[in-house]
Structure 1
Amino acid sequence: MPQAQDLEPRLLRAFVAVATELHFTRAAARLFIAQQALSRDIRRLERELGAELFVRTTRQVMLTADGERLLPYARRVLDAQDELAAVFADASRPLLVDLNSEGMTTGRVLERARALAPGSELMARFESGLTGAAAEIVAGRLDVSFGRYAGLESSMRSHLEHQLVRFEPMAVLLPADHPLAGCERLELDALAGERIYAGAGNPRTLEWTDLARRLFEGRGIEIAPPAPVALGKEEFRRIMAKTRSPVLAVTEFPPMPDTVLRPLVAPVPLSPLSLVWRRGLRHPGLDALRLAATQLAAEEGWLKMIPGAWLPDTDRSLITDNR
């Protein structure tokens, strides 16, 4: 392969995306560009290198031998560029942090981080759903979020880093007059025949709906159909009164009017909560968030696995790699 001089990093990013996905449409979506623009970048890179990098057919895309040779070098160049950009990033700018709700685990981590780094501005934004937040992180519109990292597509995870914060015990939020509301704890089998709302239809919370689907499989529990996303306690009360669907939650879910929160047992299902940020991001606010999460997890035992607890295999493998 001829020596390449002054290759634009954009062309290498296009190449790595296609090499990873082996699909131009998915690679273009991953880079948030049009497929035509991606194809142009790949053709330009091939011209500048004087080598064919992909074999394209109507059914598949494959790397050529030259493409296989280029891939590890391209990845190292892009990693170095990201590290360089991070070194000179403006550490004084506010860090935008996405939280599901005030209080709860994420709110406590943010509060501790602010105390650890009083000179950094950590701005909170309250929206639910790691799937939606992850796309914004990759696009540079958001810095940090929290959620179930294993529920993201692998192509999205390749742009991100994460730190496991807590195994959150799961619960169900019931209308106060629901037949099961009198139970202090609910065995999963007691929910057979119920339709539980778990964010179905909300594109921002795909990772949570996927967790529910895995939990309910083989237990006779259905996922409730899509419902309007309720913002605020009054809207939440109104929508629940209308749909009558219990809601899958965690045990720290904030109180809602006309409802009761009941922890799930037999087994205790766990939702693995991670701190998630853009790969290569350097900021004192992120350092403070990571330290705060580490401190609180040690003090509160957040990362102690409950014996016999339920956790999807997909999550276990990522957790093993992260700890």
Structure 2
Amino acid sequence: MAAHIDPRLLRAFVAVAEDLHFSRAAARLYVAQQALSRDVRRLERELGTELFVRTTRQVTLTPDGDRLLPHARRVLAAQDDLLAAFASGQARPLLVDLNSPGLVTGRRVLHRARELAPDCELMARYESGLTGAAAELLAGRLDASFGRFAGLDPALRSGLEQQPVRYEPMAVVLPEDHPLAALPQVPLAALAGETVYAGAGNPRTLEWTDLARRLFDGRGIRLAPPLPLAVGDEEFERIMAKTRHPVLAVVDFPAMPRTVRRPLVDPVPLSPVSLVWRKGLVHPGLDALRRATTELARTQGWLRRPGRAWVSTADADVMDAPG
């Protein structure tokens, strides 16, 4: 038997034991039913026993499930008391990195989390990219961030956890007089021969540059060489206007002067976004972020892939991995 049981697994077990219905229990916990079932199965494996009898018509507790239930409730009550003791009145703010002020996905998750946990202080930070934020997360100077988890160095990933949020359709930002600017959508093949900027040289956004390399490989699209690191929107816009390189972006990328943003198609390339936090972090604000992530991913269809889409194999492995 496992020497340590994750309280999340016990919470999943108690929810199902009380509802005797997996879908209702999943809704109560703001998680997908598939994820809840995985947690229950994992708990059964770790305890070495079956906790539920499942049929097409009903779910019932086994004798071992009955035996576990009061113990699980006591453990969770103790955990809730512990969290309440440190959260009531004196909970420190949860520092949430949104990468850039203009990006939509992380901001929507943060705003919904604030609605779900109005007594928590969730404070936004802007660290430019997930690679830059990861070191801050591990050092405890940030609590959560958003970005492409598969693009992080394995040494960084080993100290972090993630929850998939969204597959963001990608786009290209073009000078308004660029020949491709007249198109409502830009086929990837139309970028052949172009030099496209994707953050090369920025040490904070290595995961984004790596995604661009994977996307451009074999398509005749050149990655723009490293540029001076621009700090702030004004400097970034000045450098882009000077080089006139198209810029790889996502469809919600904020507007820049004298440019147009066009979605990429044939296929639609997808940029994977995860909520990322430090392993072992316990905070009611993180719980709210995870609930908001689950809710928005479900209601907005953020994790659905278009029929003709491109996702790198490394990213699909991370985004589809059991949670």
Tell me the CA shift for residue 235 of structure 1: 2.4
Q: How far, CA to CA, are the matches of 1:319 and 1:274 in structure 2? A: 8
Question: Does residue 1:110 correspond to 2:104, yes or no?
Answer: no
Question: How many residues in Structure 1 have an aligned counterpart in Structure 2?
Answer: 238
- 1:237 corresponds to which residue? 237
Could you tell me whether the CA contact under 8 Å between 1:172 and 1:261 is conserved in 2? yes
Q: How far, CA to CA, are the matches of 1:267 and 1:186 in structure 2? A: 10
* Cα-Cα RMSD: 1.6
Q: How far, CA to CA, are the matches of 2:158 and 2:251 in structure 1? A: 31
Could you tell me whether the CA contact under 8 Å between 1:237 and 1:258 is conserved in 2? no
Tell me the CA shift for residue 257 of structure 1: 0.9
Question: Does residue 1:295 correspond to 2:300, yes or no?
Answer: no
- 1:193 corresponds to which residue? 193
- 2:119 corresponds to which residue? 119
Moved more, 247-256 or 227-236: 227-236
- 1:129 corresponds to which residue? 129
Q: How far, CA to CA, are the matches of 2:319 and 2:233 in structure 1? A: 34
Q: How far, CA to CA, are the matches of 1:101 and 1:270 in structure 2? A: 19
Could you tell me whether the CA contact under 8 Å between 2:99 and 2:128 is conserved in 1? yes
Structure 1: give runs of 5+ residues left out of the alignment: 1-83
- 1:270 corresponds to which residue? 270
Could you tell me whether the CA contact under 8 Å between 1:233 and 1:257 is conserved in 2? no
Could you tell me whether the CA contact under 8 Å between 1:163 and 1:322 is conserved in 2? no
Amino acid at match of 2:156: M
Tell me the CA shift for residue 219 of structure 1: 0.5
* Counterpart secondary structure, 2:310: coil
Amino acid at match of 2:290: R
- 1:156 corresponds to which residue? 156
Alpha carbons of structure 1 residues 105 and 218: separation in structure 2 relative to 1, 3 Å: same
* Counterpart secondary structure, 1:241: helix
- 1:43 corresponds to which residue? none
Tell me the CA shift for residue 90 of structure 1: 4.6
Amino acid at match of 2:243: T
- Calculate the TM-score normalised by the size of structure 1: 0.71
Could you tell me whether the CA contact under 8 Å between 1:97 and 1:142 is conserved in 2? yes
Alpha carbons of structure 1 residues 150 and 106: separation in structure 2 relative to 1, 3 Å: same
- 2:76 corresponds to which residue? none
- 1:101 corresponds to which residue? 100
Cα deviation digits, residues 124-160 of structure 1 (max 9, x gap): 0122110111111111111100000001112211100
Tell me the CA shift for residue 177 of structure 1: 1.1
* Counterpart secondary structure, 2:125: strand
Cα deviation digits, residues 263-302 of structure 1 (max 9, x gap): 0001000011000000010100001111111111111110
Question: Does residue 1:217 correspond to 2:217, yes or no?
Answer: yes
Moved more, 131-140 or 273-282: 131-140
- 2:69 corresponds to which residue? none
- 1:34 corresponds to which residue? none
- 2:204 corresponds to which residue? 204
* Counterpart secondary structure, 2:253: coil
Q: How far, CA to CA, are the matches of 1:233 and 1:141 in structure 2? A: 24
* Counterpart secondary structure, 1:235: helix
Q: How far, CA to CA, are the matches of 1:181 and 1:255 in structure 2? A: 14
- 1:304 corresponds to which residue? 304
* Counterpart secondary structure, 1:256: coil
Q: How far, CA to CA, are the matches of 2:233 and 2:154 in structure 1? A: 35
* Counterpart secondary structure, 1:306: coil
- 1:14 corresponds to which residue? none
Q: How far, CA to CA, are the matches of 2:154 and 2:215 in structure 1? A: 21
Amino acid at match of 1:122: L
Could you tell me whether the CA contact under 8 Å between 1:172 and 1:262 is conserved in 2? yes
- 1:36 corresponds to which residue? none
Q: How far, CA to CA, are the matches of 2:228 and 2:114 in structure 1? A: 34
* Counterpart secondary structure, 1:181: helix
- 2:173 corresponds to which residue? 173
Tell me the CA shift for residue 228 of structure 1: 3.0
